Amino acid sequence: MTTDKQRVVSSGYDQVADAYLDRFGVSAVRQKWLERLIGRLPVTGAKVLDLGCGAGVPVARELVALGHAVVGVDGSRQQIARARQNLPDAVFVEADMCSAVFEAGSFDAVGAFYSITHVPAAQQRRLIADIATWLKPGGILVASFGAGPAGEWTGDWLGTTMFFGHAGEAETLKSLADAGLRVLDSSVETQDNEDAAFLWIEAVRHRDLP
């Protein structure tokens, strides 16, 4: 279900799509975890879901350049328009990731870079369970979540109103485990391009989901 909070996020990104890319488009931390994801994929030809893909830069762009088939999902019409223009060879869907529907076992990997942190805390557990079903057995999830105390925040960000949600690190790790996603690595990392930290995880889908 799309809530008022998610509408704040999609209309906020409609307004700041270009400003976001200018300010946050380059990050050594994002690049490190993108390379982790790429390192888990076959050399080419994997099917990858990019949740909260933004303008498709840099994540979808690097995956497409390697010959992977990318499906990007974003709730912001303006972000999706930019992604389609930047990457005509990928598939981009304008949708709320919390109500998106994909067939079970559709993807070799799912990436969610700085996007689940905009999902209401109470909806993150269900979203994680959905992601697990969308992955093939043995499929990989690389994602960032909030770090520090759980909570939600709505306020001025990049000149628009934005919402952020964080279920808490322990709760996030429990949701991953309960969904049948075995965490291979996790760490809280401070951004190189802003005064903020995120919990990063790399996880693999068990053969049999609970």
Ligand X SMILES: C[S@@+](CC[C@H](N)C(=O)[O-])C[C@H]1O[C@@H](n2cnc3c(N)ncnc32)[C@H](O)[C@@H]1O
Binding of ligand X at residue 113 (CB under 6 A)?
Answer: yes
33 is an interface residue for ligand X by CB under 6 A? no
Residue of 16, 64, 76, 146 interacting with ligand X (CB under 6 A): 76
List, in sequence order, the alpha helices (H) in 47-120. Answer: 59-65, 77-86
Contact letters (x/-) for ligand X, 167-196, by CB under 6 A?
------------------------------
Q: Which amino acid is at 116?
A: I
Contact 9, 162 (CB under 8 A): yes
Judged by CB under 6 A, which stretch of 90-98, 128-136, 171-179, 193-201 contacts ligand X? 90-98
162 near ligand X, rule: CB under 6 A: no
6 scored as a contact of ligand X (CB under 6 A): yes
98 sits near ligand X (criterion: CB under 6 A): yes
CA distances to 30, 86, 123, 155, 161 from 142, in Å: 10, 23, 18, 27, 27
Q: Does 140 bind ligand X (CB under 6 A)?
A: no
54 in contact with ligand X (CB under 6 A): yes
Exposed, middle or buried: residue 42 (CB in 10 Å: 0-12, 13-18, 19+)?
exposed
The values of phi and psi at residue 168, to 5°, are 105, 145
Kindly state whether residue 30 participates in binding ligand X, applying the rule CB under 6 A. Answer: yes
Question: Does 115 participate in binding ligand X (rule CB under 6 A)?
Answer: yes
